[in-house]
Amino acid sequence: MDPRAPFLRILDLALPPRCPGCGAIVEADHRFCASCWDSLQFLGPPWCATCHLPFEYDRGAGAQCGDCLAHPPPHDGVRAAVAYGEVARRLALKLKYGGRLAVAETMARAMARLVPEGADLVVPVPLHRWRLWSRGFNQAVLIARGVAKRHGLPVETDLLRRVKATPKLQGLGRRARAKVVAGAFALAPEARARLAGKTVLLVDDVHTSGATGDACARLLKRGGASRVVVLCWARVLAEDAMD
């Protein structure tokens, strides 16, 4: 576990509320200052009917993006609170590598509005046990719990397992990311009974190329899930924005 985690939790409780993006003092916890708020690009319809990639204008009911027409994804849409930009990136790094656990609640608040009707359970993208041990927490689990409590949904942390340690995906392109995560995940032995006919929310912090979400969605559907919707804090809208 990160030795700084207990100290950082105390700081989160004791110090005045600050903007999650830049640290400026704000009125209440999890609120952004005006500058950071204006920098965030919140996402929503109109979007691709299949993957939920935002459109610049409404193309009509059932309209799909070019990627989905050519290569239908294994999931049933990616719903992201914001586009991946400087402020969104800053929050993701503070949570994942800075140990600022309260940021997960900030993300969950923004993501909760995108939970589709009929969702049955929430499944966070798993970490390999060695990375979980070294980091001390799985950021996707923290975010998933924040989203789930707002909708009264169960969080299933053991349905999906990361069985292969993979290198960090930062700096890799779409094809390289897909190759790295191939075979990295597995379903728990009892998963079929718990997934049969269910609509699953697959939660992660950042959606980049989609390689991780695609791999997990395939497994969940293979295990009996009827729908898998990917829910995340930020989505990379241009491949050259990946890090």
For the beta carbon of residue 93, count every other beta carbon within 10 angstroms.
15
Q: Would you state the pLDDT for residue 184?
A: 82
**In this predicted structure, what is the pLDDT of residue 12?**
64
For residue range 170-210, list pLDDT tens digits in order.
666 667 777 777 788 999 998 999 999 999 999 999 998 88
Residue with tokens 């204006």: 38
Q: Please write the tens of the pLDDT for every residue from 214-226.
A: 999 999 999 999 9
pLDDT, position 230? 97
Question: Where do the domains of the chain lie?
Answer: 41-241
Residue 100: other Cβ atoms inside 10 A: 20
The pLDDT of residue 128: 87
Binned at pLDDT 50, 70 and 90, residue 243 comes out as: very low
Burial 189-203 (b: 16+ CB within 10 A, else e): eebeebbeebbbbbb
The percent of residues in the chain predicted with pLDDT above 70, rounded, is: 90
Distance CA(218)–CA(210), nearest Å, equals 12
The distance from CA 41 to its chain's CA centroid, rounded to whole angstroms, is 16
Long-range CB pairs of 186-194 (<8 Å, 24+ gap) are: 186/160, 186/161, 186/219, 187/159, 187/160, 187/161, 187/219, 187/220, 187/222, 187/223, 188/158, 188/159, 188/160, 188/161, 191/159, 191/160, 191/223, 191/224, 192/223, 192/224, 194/121, 194/156, 194/159
**Collapsing DSSP states into helix, strand and coil, what is residue 235?**
strand
- Residue 241: per-residue pLDDT: 46
Can you give the pLDDT at residue 240?
A: 45
With cut-offs at 50, 70 and 90, classify the pLDDT of residue 242: very low
CATH 1.10.287 correct for 41-241: no
Average pLDDT, the chain: 88
Given pLDDT bands bounded at 50, 70 and 90, which one contains residue 169? Answer: low
The pair of structure tokens assigned to 75 is: 């999931």
Which pair of tokens denotes residue 136? 């001390």
pLDDT value, residue 17: 83
Do the beta carbons of residue 176 and residue 143 sit within 8 Å?
no
Whether the pLDDT of residue 3 is over 70: the answer is no
145 pLDDT band, cuts 50/70/90, is very high
Convert the pLDDT of each residue in 27-83 to its tens digit: 878 889 999 999 999 998 999 999 999 998 899 888 999 989 998 999 999 999 999
Query: Quick check: 95 and 101 in contact, CB under 8 A?
Result: yes
* Beta carbons of 100 and 8 less than 8 angstroms apart: yes
Q: How many CB atoms lie within 10 A of CB 171?
A: 10
Based on C-alpha coordinates, what's the Rg of the chain?
18
